[in-house]
Structure 1
Protein backbone atom coordinates (compact mmCIF):
# COMPACT_ATOMS: atom_id res chain seq x y z
CA UNK A 1 0.00 0.00 0.00
CA UNK A 2 2.83 2.41 0.84
CA UNK A 3 4.62 1.72 -2.43
CA UNK A 4 1.39 2.21 -4.36
CA UNK A 5 0.76 5.63 -2.80
CA UNK A 6 4.40 6.64 -3.09
CA UNK A 7 4.46 5.73 -6.77
CA UNK A 8 1.22 7.61 -7.42
CA UNK A 9 2.66 10.59 -5.53
CA UNK A 10 5.78 10.62 -7.73
CA UNK A 11 3.71 10.32 -10.92
CA UNK A 12 1.54 13.22 -9.77
CA UNK A 13 4.64 15.35 -9.17
CA UNK A 14 5.86 14.48 -12.67
CA UNK A 15 2.58 15.77 -14.10
CA UNK A 16 2.67 18.82 -11.85
CA UNK A 17 5.99 20.08 -13.18
CA UNK A 18 5.19 19.72 -16.87
CA UNK A 19 5.61 22.85 -18.96
CA UNK A 20 2.60 25.12 -18.35
CA UNK A 21 0.17 25.77 -21.18
CA UNK A 22 0.01 29.50 -20.43
CA UNK A 23 2.58 30.96 -18.05
CA UNK A 24 0.52 34.10 -17.34
CA UNK A 25 -2.31 32.12 -15.79
CA UNK A 26 0.10 30.10 -13.66
CA UNK A 27 1.76 33.33 -12.52
CA UNK A 28 -1.57 34.73 -11.31
CA UNK A 29 -2.39 31.51 -9.47
CA UNK A 30 1.06 31.50 -7.87
CA UNK A 31 0.64 35.09 -6.62
CA UNK A 32 -2.77 34.23 -5.17
CA UNK A 33 -1.33 31.16 -3.45
CA UNK A 34 1.55 33.22 -2.03
CA UNK A 35 -0.89 35.70 -0.53
CA UNK A 36 -3.02 32.88 0.89
CA UNK A 37 -0.12 30.93 2.37
CA UNK A 38 2.08 33.84 3.41
CA UNK A 39 -0.12 36.73 4.51
CA UNK A 40 -2.92 34.40 5.58
CA UNK A 41 -0.64 32.64 8.06
CA UNK A 42 1.46 35.60 9.21
CA UNK A 43 -0.61 36.56 12.25
CA UNK A 44 -0.79 33.00 13.55
CA UNK A 45 2.97 32.49 13.16
CA UNK A 46 3.79 35.78 14.90
CA UNK A 47 1.57 35.05 17.90
CA UNK A 48 2.70 31.44 18.37
CA UNK A 49 6.41 32.18 17.89
CA UNK A 50 6.40 35.15 20.28
CA UNK A 51 4.82 33.14 23.08
CA UNK A 52 7.10 30.14 22.44
CA UNK A 53 10.15 32.40 22.73
CA UNK A 54 8.86 33.94 25.97
CA UNK A 55 8.08 30.56 27.53
CA UNK A 56 11.41 29.08 26.43
CA UNK A 57 13.31 31.91 28.11
CA UNK A 58 11.54 31.36 31.42
CA UNK A 59 12.00 27.59 31.27
CA UNK A 60 15.71 27.87 30.44
CA UNK A 61 16.18 30.34 33.31
CA UNK A 62 14.37 27.95 35.67
CA UNK A 63 16.67 25.06 34.73
CA UNK A 64 19.95 27.02 34.75
CA UNK A 65 20.01 28.10 38.38
CA UNK A 66 23.71 28.28 39.14
CA UNK A 67 26.19 30.98 40.12
CA UNK A 68 28.72 29.39 37.75
CA UNK A 69 26.57 29.92 34.65
CA UNK A 70 26.21 33.49 33.34
CA UNK A 71 22.69 34.73 32.63
CA UNK A 72 23.69 35.58 29.06
CA UNK A 73 23.71 31.86 28.25
CA UNK A 74 19.89 31.95 28.46
CA UNK A 75 19.69 34.15 25.37
CA UNK A 76 22.22 32.01 23.53
CA UNK A 77 20.33 28.76 24.18
CA UNK A 78 17.02 30.34 23.26
CA UNK A 79 18.50 31.73 20.02
CA UNK A 80 20.04 28.45 18.87
CA UNK A 81 17.00 26.37 19.90
CA UNK A 82 14.64 28.59 17.93
CA UNK A 83 16.86 28.79 14.85
CA UNK A 84 17.64 25.09 14.64
CA UNK A 85 14.43 23.44 15.81
CA UNK A 86 11.53 25.40 17.25
CA UNK A 87 11.29 28.04 14.51
CA UNK A 88 11.25 25.72 11.47
CA UNK A 89 9.58 22.65 12.96
CA UNK A 90 6.85 24.21 15.10
CA UNK A 91 5.98 26.63 12.31
CA UNK A 92 5.81 23.76 9.81
CA UNK A 93 3.54 21.69 12.05
CA UNK A 94 1.23 24.66 12.57
CA UNK A 95 1.18 25.44 8.85
CA UNK A 96 0.47 21.82 8.00
CA UNK A 97 -2.67 22.05 10.08
CA UNK A 98 -3.76 25.36 8.55
CA UNK A 99 -2.40 25.41 4.99
CA UNK A 100 -2.28 21.66 4.39
CA UNK A 101 -5.86 21.01 5.38
CA UNK A 102 -7.00 23.96 3.28
CA UNK A 103 -5.18 22.71 0.15
CA UNK A 104 -6.48 19.18 0.58
CA UNK A 105 -10.09 20.29 1.08
CA UNK A 106 -9.97 22.75 -1.85
CA UNK A 107 -8.63 20.22 -4.35
CA UNK A 108 -10.73 17.40 -2.90
CA UNK A 109 -13.90 19.47 -3.27
CA UNK A 110 -13.01 20.14 -6.90
CA UNK A 111 -12.51 16.41 -7.45
CA UNK A 112 -15.83 15.28 -5.98
CA UNK A 113 -17.74 18.04 -7.82
CA UNK A 114 -16.08 16.93 -11.10
CA UNK A 115 -14.38 20.28 -11.71
CA UNK A 116 -11.04 18.51 -12.19
CA UNK A 117 -12.65 16.20 -14.75
CA UNK A 118 -13.90 19.26 -16.61
CA UNK A 119 -10.39 20.75 -16.68
CA UNK A 120 -8.97 17.53 -18.10
CA UNK A 121 -11.69 17.34 -20.75
CA UNK A 122 -10.74 20.86 -21.87
CA UNK A 123 -7.15 19.68 -22.33
CA UNK A 124 -5.74 21.53 -19.30
CA UNK A 125 -3.04 19.86 -17.23
CA UNK A 126 -5.09 19.76 -14.03
CA UNK A 127 -2.21 18.75 -11.68
CA UNK A 128 -0.02 21.55 -13.01
CA UNK A 129 -2.74 24.20 -12.92
CA UNK A 130 -4.03 23.31 -9.45
CA UNK A 131 -0.91 22.13 -7.61
CA UNK A 132 2.18 23.72 -9.17
CA UNK A 133 1.35 27.30 -8.02
CA UNK A 134 0.74 26.07 -4.48
CA UNK A 135 4.07 24.21 -4.31
CA UNK A 136 5.99 27.19 -5.69
CA UNK A 137 4.22 29.50 -3.23
CA UNK A 138 5.06 27.12 -0.38
CA UNK A 139 8.73 26.98 -1.36
CA UNK A 140 8.89 30.79 -1.37
CA UNK A 141 6.65 31.82 1.51
CA UNK A 142 7.24 29.17 4.17
CA UNK A 143 10.99 29.98 4.47
CA UNK A 144 9.97 33.64 4.81
CA UNK A 145 7.48 32.70 7.55
CA UNK A 146 10.18 30.66 9.30
CA UNK A 147 12.53 33.67 9.31
CA UNK A 148 9.76 35.80 10.81
CA UNK A 149 9.01 33.06 13.35
CA UNK A 150 12.65 32.93 14.47
CA UNK A 151 12.79 36.71 14.82
CA UNK A 152 9.54 36.83 16.79
CA UNK A 153 10.68 34.01 19.07
CA UNK A 154 13.91 35.82 19.89
CA UNK A 155 12.06 39.09 20.55
CA UNK A 156 9.44 37.21 22.56
CA UNK A 157 12.23 35.72 24.65
CA UNK A 158 13.51 39.20 25.40
CA UNK A 159 10.07 40.46 26.38
CA UNK A 160 9.19 37.37 28.42
CA UNK A 161 12.53 37.30 30.23
CA UNK A 162 12.37 41.00 31.07
CA UNK A 163 8.77 40.95 32.30
CA UNK A 164 9.23 37.82 34.42
CA UNK A 165 12.60 38.90 35.80
CA UNK A 166 14.22 35.67 34.59
CA UNK A 167 16.96 37.56 32.77
CA UNK A 168 17.76 41.20 32.21
CA UNK A 169 17.48 42.72 28.76
CA UNK A 170 21.22 43.45 28.69
CA UNK A 171 22.18 39.86 29.55
CA UNK A 172 19.72 38.46 27.02
CA UNK A 173 20.95 40.70 24.21
CA UNK A 174 24.54 39.79 25.07
CA UNK A 175 23.62 36.12 24.85
CA UNK A 176 21.94 36.31 21.44
CA UNK A 177 24.82 38.29 19.93
CA UNK A 178 27.83 36.30 21.13
CA UNK A 179 29.19 33.02 19.67
CA UNK A 180 26.76 33.08 16.77
CA UNK A 181 27.23 30.36 14.15
CA UNK A 182 25.75 31.35 10.80
CA UNK A 183 25.53 27.71 9.68
CA UNK A 184 22.54 27.25 11.97
CA UNK A 185 20.57 29.64 9.74
CA UNK A 186 21.55 27.54 6.70
CA UNK A 187 20.20 24.41 8.42
CA UNK A 188 16.99 26.25 9.30
CA UNK A 189 16.49 27.39 5.69
CA UNK A 190 17.09 23.89 4.30
CA UNK A 191 14.47 22.58 6.72
CA UNK A 192 12.09 25.36 5.73
CA UNK A 193 12.35 24.59 1.99
CA UNK A 194 11.83 20.85 2.56
CA UNK A 195 8.93 21.49 4.93
CA UNK A 196 7.39 23.90 2.42
CA UNK A 197 7.41 21.19 -0.22
CA UNK A 198 5.88 18.64 2.16
CA UNK A 199 3.18 21.03 3.40
CA UNK A 200 1.93 21.72 -0.13
CA UNK A 201 2.54 18.50 -2.05
CA UNK A 202 1.19 15.83 0.33
CA UNK A 203 -2.19 17.50 0.96
CA UNK A 204 -2.47 18.20 -2.78
CA UNK A 205 -1.94 14.49 -3.50
CA UNK A 206 -4.53 13.41 -0.95
CA UNK A 207 -7.06 15.91 -2.27
CA UNK A 208 -6.42 15.16 -5.93
CA UNK A 209 -7.14 11.45 -5.61
CA UNK A 210 -10.05 11.63 -3.16
CA UNK A 211 -13.24 9.85 -4.19
CA UNK A 212 -16.74 9.98 -2.78
CA UNK A 213 -18.38 13.02 -1.22
CA UNK A 214 -18.01 15.59 1.53
CA UNK A 215 -17.24 12.93 4.15
CA UNK A 216 -14.31 11.56 2.13
CA UNK A 217 -12.99 15.09 1.55
CA UNK A 218 -12.90 15.66 5.30
CA UNK A 219 -11.19 12.32 5.86
CA UNK A 220 -8.60 13.08 3.18
CA UNK A 221 -7.91 16.45 4.79
CA UNK A 222 -7.36 14.80 8.18
CA UNK A 223 -5.13 12.10 6.69
CA UNK A 224 -3.05 14.68 4.84
CA UNK A 225 -2.36 16.56 8.07
CA UNK A 226 -1.39 13.39 9.94
CA UNK A 227 0.86 12.07 7.15
CA UNK A 228 2.33 15.52 6.59
CA UNK A 229 3.20 16.01 10.27
CA UNK A 230 4.90 12.60 10.41
CA UNK A 231 6.79 13.42 7.19
CA UNK A 232 7.93 16.77 8.64
CA UNK A 233 9.29 15.11 11.78
CA UNK A 234 11.05 12.41 9.74
CA UNK A 235 12.56 15.02 7.41
CA UNK A 236 13.61 17.07 10.43
CA UNK A 237 15.52 14.11 11.81
CA UNK A 238 17.19 13.31 8.48
CA UNK A 239 18.27 16.89 7.81
CA UNK A 240 19.63 17.27 11.33
CA UNK A 241 21.53 13.97 11.08
CA UNK A 242 23.03 14.89 7.72
CA UNK A 243 23.92 18.54 8.35
CA UNK A 244 24.91 18.66 12.02
Structure 2
Protein backbone atom coordinates (compact mmCIF):
# COMPACT_ATOMS: atom_id res chain seq x y z
CA UNK A 1 0.00 0.00 0.00
CA UNK A 2 1.32 3.45 -0.87
CA UNK A 3 1.89 5.78 2.02
CA UNK A 4 -0.34 8.84 2.15
CA UNK A 5 2.50 11.32 2.67
CA UNK A 6 6.26 11.20 2.92
CA UNK A 7 6.62 12.42 6.51
CA UNK A 8 4.87 12.19 9.85
CA UNK A 9 4.39 15.95 9.76
CA UNK A 10 2.52 15.80 6.47
CA UNK A 11 0.28 13.01 7.72
CA UNK A 12 -0.35 14.88 10.97
CA UNK A 13 -1.34 18.05 9.13
CA UNK A 14 -3.66 16.15 6.80
CA UNK A 15 -5.26 14.25 9.69
CA UNK A 16 -5.75 17.42 11.72
CA UNK A 17 -7.86 18.89 8.92
CA UNK A 18 -10.06 15.76 9.01
CA UNK A 19 -10.68 15.78 12.77
CA UNK A 20 -14.16 15.98 14.25
CA UNK A 21 -13.81 16.90 17.92
CA UNK A 22 -16.63 15.77 20.18
CA UNK A 23 -18.12 16.51 23.57
CA UNK A 24 -21.09 14.25 24.19
CA UNK A 25 -21.16 13.73 27.93
CA UNK A 26 -24.09 13.87 30.31
CA UNK A 27 -22.28 16.47 32.43
CA UNK A 28 -21.31 18.78 29.55
CA UNK A 29 -21.49 22.47 30.39
CA UNK A 30 -21.46 25.66 28.33
CA UNK A 31 -17.89 26.25 29.47
CA UNK A 32 -16.82 22.83 28.21
CA UNK A 33 -18.43 23.40 24.81
CA UNK A 34 -16.79 26.81 24.45
CA UNK A 35 -13.42 25.25 25.33
CA UNK A 36 -14.00 22.54 22.72
CA UNK A 37 -14.65 25.15 20.05
CA UNK A 38 -11.54 27.07 21.04
CA UNK A 39 -9.53 23.85 20.87
CA UNK A 40 -10.77 23.31 17.31
CA UNK A 41 -8.64 26.27 16.22
CA UNK A 42 -4.94 25.40 16.40
CA UNK A 43 -1.79 27.33 15.45
CA UNK A 44 -1.32 25.01 12.46
CA UNK A 45 -4.90 24.98 11.20
CA UNK A 46 -8.49 24.28 12.16
CA UNK A 47 -10.16 20.91 12.55
CA UNK A 48 -13.04 19.96 10.26
CA UNK A 49 -15.90 19.92 12.75
CA UNK A 50 -17.13 19.76 16.32
CA UNK A 51 -19.86 17.33 17.37
CA UNK A 52 -22.04 18.14 20.38
CA UNK A 53 -25.48 17.28 21.69
CA UNK A 54 -28.37 19.17 20.11
CA UNK A 55 -28.86 21.25 23.29
CA UNK A 56 -25.39 22.76 22.86
CA UNK A 57 -25.36 23.02 19.08
CA UNK A 58 -26.45 26.66 19.03
CA UNK A 59 -23.76 27.63 21.50
CA UNK A 60 -21.12 25.83 19.45
CA UNK A 61 -22.16 27.61 16.27
CA UNK A 62 -22.21 31.02 17.94
CA UNK A 63 -18.83 30.44 19.55
CA UNK A 64 -17.17 29.37 16.31
CA UNK A 65 -18.73 32.29 14.45
CA UNK A 66 -17.41 34.67 17.11
CA UNK A 67 -13.97 33.10 16.66
CA UNK A 68 -14.30 33.70 12.90
CA UNK A 69 -14.24 29.99 12.19
CA UNK A 70 -17.41 29.61 10.16
CA UNK A 71 -15.75 26.89 8.09
CA UNK A 72 -15.62 24.57 11.12
CA UNK A 73 -18.80 22.54 10.90
CA UNK A 74 -21.15 22.04 13.84
CA UNK A 75 -22.61 18.54 14.07
CA UNK A 76 -25.55 17.83 16.38
CA UNK A 77 -25.82 14.26 17.72
CA UNK A 78 -29.39 12.96 17.96
CA UNK A 79 -30.83 9.71 19.26
CA UNK A 80 -27.56 9.56 21.19
CA UNK A 81 -26.17 7.33 22.55
CA UNK A 82 -28.87 4.72 23.02
CA UNK A 83 -30.06 4.49 19.43
CA UNK A 84 -33.70 4.40 20.51
CA UNK A 85 -36.56 3.35 18.26
CA UNK A 86 -38.73 6.48 18.54
CA UNK A 87 -38.89 8.20 15.17
CA UNK A 88 -40.89 11.09 16.61
CA UNK A 89 -38.24 11.77 19.24
CA UNK A 90 -35.45 11.66 16.69
CA UNK A 91 -37.35 14.04 14.40
CA UNK A 92 -37.91 16.44 17.29
CA UNK A 93 -34.20 16.50 18.08
CA UNK A 94 -33.36 17.11 14.44
CA UNK A 95 -35.82 19.98 14.26
CA UNK A 96 -34.32 21.59 17.37
CA UNK A 97 -30.84 21.28 15.91
CA UNK A 98 -31.86 22.82 12.60
CA UNK A 99 -33.40 25.80 14.35
CA UNK A 100 -30.02 26.78 15.80
CA UNK A 101 -28.18 26.53 12.49
CA UNK A 102 -26.24 23.27 12.58
CA UNK A 103 -24.37 22.18 9.48
CA UNK A 104 -24.84 18.45 10.03
CA UNK A 105 -27.00 16.05 12.01
CA UNK A 106 -25.54 12.82 13.38
CA UNK A 107 -28.27 10.21 13.88
CA UNK A 108 -27.53 7.08 15.91
CA UNK A 109 -29.10 4.15 14.08
CA UNK A 110 -31.64 2.17 16.18
CA UNK A 111 -29.22 -0.73 16.56
CA UNK A 112 -31.04 -2.48 19.41
CA UNK A 113 -34.21 -2.70 17.32
CA UNK A 114 -32.18 -4.02 14.39
CA UNK A 115 -30.71 -6.79 16.52
CA UNK A 116 -34.18 -7.61 17.86
CA UNK A 117 -35.34 -8.27 14.30
CA UNK A 118 -36.96 -4.94 13.40
CA UNK A 119 -35.23 -4.20 10.13
CA UNK A 120 -37.71 -1.56 8.99
CA UNK A 121 -37.44 0.99 11.80
CA UNK A 122 -33.94 2.05 10.80
CA UNK A 123 -34.96 2.76 7.24
CA UNK A 124 -38.01 4.73 8.37
CA UNK A 125 -36.06 6.76 10.93
CA UNK A 126 -33.30 7.71 8.50
CA UNK A 127 -35.84 8.70 5.84
CA UNK A 128 -37.77 10.85 8.32
CA UNK A 129 -34.68 12.61 9.62
CA UNK A 130 -33.29 13.10 6.11
CA UNK A 131 -36.59 14.71 5.10
CA UNK A 132 -36.34 17.05 8.09
CA UNK A 133 -32.79 18.03 7.15
CA UNK A 134 -33.76 18.83 3.57
CA UNK A 135 -31.13 21.14 2.08
CA UNK A 136 -30.31 22.72 5.43
CA UNK A 137 -28.00 20.06 6.87
CA UNK A 138 -26.22 16.86 5.89
CA UNK A 139 -27.11 13.64 7.67
CA UNK A 140 -24.63 11.24 9.24
CA UNK A 141 -25.81 7.80 10.33
CA UNK A 142 -23.86 6.25 13.21
CA UNK A 143 -24.08 2.48 12.97
CA UNK A 144 -22.57 1.33 16.30
CA UNK A 145 -20.66 -1.41 14.52
CA UNK A 146 -19.15 -2.73 17.75
CA UNK A 147 -22.64 -3.78 18.87
CA UNK A 148 -23.99 -4.91 15.50
CA UNK A 149 -20.79 -6.97 15.11
CA UNK A 150 -21.92 -9.31 12.32
CA UNK A 151 -20.34 -8.13 9.03
CA UNK A 152 -23.48 -9.07 7.06
CA UNK A 153 -25.71 -7.03 9.39
CA UNK A 154 -23.35 -4.05 9.23
CA UNK A 155 -23.19 -4.32 5.45
CA UNK A 156 -26.99 -4.44 5.19
CA UNK A 157 -27.43 -1.44 7.49
CA UNK A 158 -24.87 0.50 5.42
CA UNK A 159 -26.90 -0.12 2.27
CA UNK A 160 -30.09 0.97 4.04
CA UNK A 161 -28.45 4.15 5.31
CA UNK A 162 -27.08 5.08 1.89
CA UNK A 163 -30.35 4.39 0.11
CA UNK A 164 -32.23 6.61 2.57
CA UNK A 165 -29.92 9.56 2.03
CA UNK A 166 -27.03 9.46 4.50
CA UNK A 167 -24.17 11.77 3.59
CA UNK A 168 -21.78 10.00 5.97
CA UNK A 169 -21.58 6.56 7.55
CA UNK A 170 -20.01 6.58 11.01
CA UNK A 171 -18.52 3.55 12.72
CA UNK A 172 -19.61 4.16 16.29
CA UNK A 173 -20.64 6.55 19.05
CA UNK A 174 -17.43 5.96 20.97
CA UNK A 175 -19.53 5.00 23.99
CA UNK A 176 -19.31 1.22 23.57
CA UNK A 177 -16.50 -1.17 24.49
CA UNK A 178 -15.71 -1.68 20.80
CA UNK A 179 -15.58 1.52 18.74
CA UNK A 180 -13.89 2.15 15.41
CA UNK A 181 -11.91 -0.73 13.94
CA UNK A 182 -10.19 -1.02 10.57
CA UNK A 183 -12.35 -4.07 9.86
CA UNK A 184 -15.59 -2.13 10.40
CA UNK A 185 -14.29 0.77 8.33
CA UNK A 186 -13.57 -1.60 5.44
CA UNK A 187 -17.14 -2.89 5.51
CA UNK A 188 -18.47 0.66 5.38
CA UNK A 189 -16.13 1.56 2.53
CA UNK A 190 -17.15 -1.53 0.59
CA UNK A 191 -20.83 -0.63 0.87
CA UNK A 192 -20.10 2.92 -0.24
CA UNK A 193 -18.16 1.63 -3.25
CA UNK A 194 -20.83 -0.90 -4.17
CA UNK A 195 -23.56 1.72 -4.44
CA UNK A 196 -21.36 4.12 -6.37
CA UNK A 197 -22.30 6.77 -3.90
CA UNK A 198 -20.54 9.95 -2.82
CA UNK A 199 -21.19 9.07 0.81
CA UNK A 200 -18.33 9.74 3.22
CA UNK A 201 -16.89 7.80 6.17
CA UNK A 202 -16.38 8.81 9.79
CA UNK A 203 -14.11 6.63 11.91
CA UNK A 204 -14.99 7.46 15.50
CA UNK A 205 -13.54 6.18 18.74
CA UNK A 206 -10.25 4.39 19.41
CA UNK A 207 -8.22 6.55 17.00
CA UNK A 208 -5.64 8.04 19.33
CA UNK A 209 -2.26 8.16 17.59
CA UNK A 210 -0.71 9.39 14.39
CA UNK A 211 -0.05 5.81 13.29
CA UNK A 212 -3.71 4.86 13.83
CA UNK A 213 -4.82 7.91 11.87
CA UNK A 214 -2.36 7.06 9.11
CA UNK A 215 -3.90 3.59 8.75
CA UNK A 216 -7.34 5.08 8.04
CA UNK A 217 -5.91 7.60 5.58
CA UNK A 218 -4.01 4.88 3.73
CA UNK A 219 -7.03 2.58 3.70
CA UNK A 220 -9.21 5.36 2.28
CA UNK A 221 -6.65 6.37 -0.33
CA UNK A 222 -6.17 2.77 -1.45
CA UNK A 223 -9.93 2.29 -1.89
CA UNK A 224 -11.00 5.65 -3.31
CA UNK A 225 -7.89 7.61 -4.28
CA UNK A 226 -6.10 10.65 -2.91
CA UNK A 227 -9.03 12.94 -3.67
CA UNK A 228 -11.03 11.20 -0.95
CA UNK A 229 -8.75 12.57 1.79
CA UNK A 230 -10.96 15.62 2.30
CA UNK A 231 -13.32 16.46 5.20
CA UNK A 232 -16.28 16.11 2.84
CA UNK A 233 -15.41 12.41 2.48
CA UNK A 234 -13.36 11.34 5.50
CA UNK A 235 -13.49 12.35 9.16
CA UNK A 236 -11.67 11.09 12.23
CA UNK A 237 -13.70 11.42 15.41
CA UNK A 238 -11.02 11.42 18.07
CA UNK A 239 -10.32 14.09 20.69
CA UNK A 240 -7.17 12.51 22.10
CA UNK A 241 -5.70 12.27 18.60
CA UNK A 242 -5.38 16.05 18.40
CA UNK A 243 -2.68 16.19 21.09
CA UNK A 244 -0.59 13.54 19.33
CA UNK A 245 -0.92 15.31 15.98
CA UNK A 246 0.05 18.66 17.47
CA UNK A 247 3.07 17.07 19.16
CA UNK A 248 4.26 15.77 15.78
CA UNK A 249 3.76 19.25 14.38
CA UNK A 250 5.89 20.84 17.10
CA UNK A 251 2.99 22.55 18.88
CA UNK A 252 3.24 22.42 22.66
CA UNK A 253 0.05 22.24 24.76
User: Could you tell me the TM-score, scaled by structure 1's length?
Assistant: 0.22
Indicate the structure with greater strand content: 2
* Structure showing greater Rg: 1
Q: Which has the higher contact order (CA 8 A, sep 6+)?
A: 1
Indicate the structure with greater helix content: 1
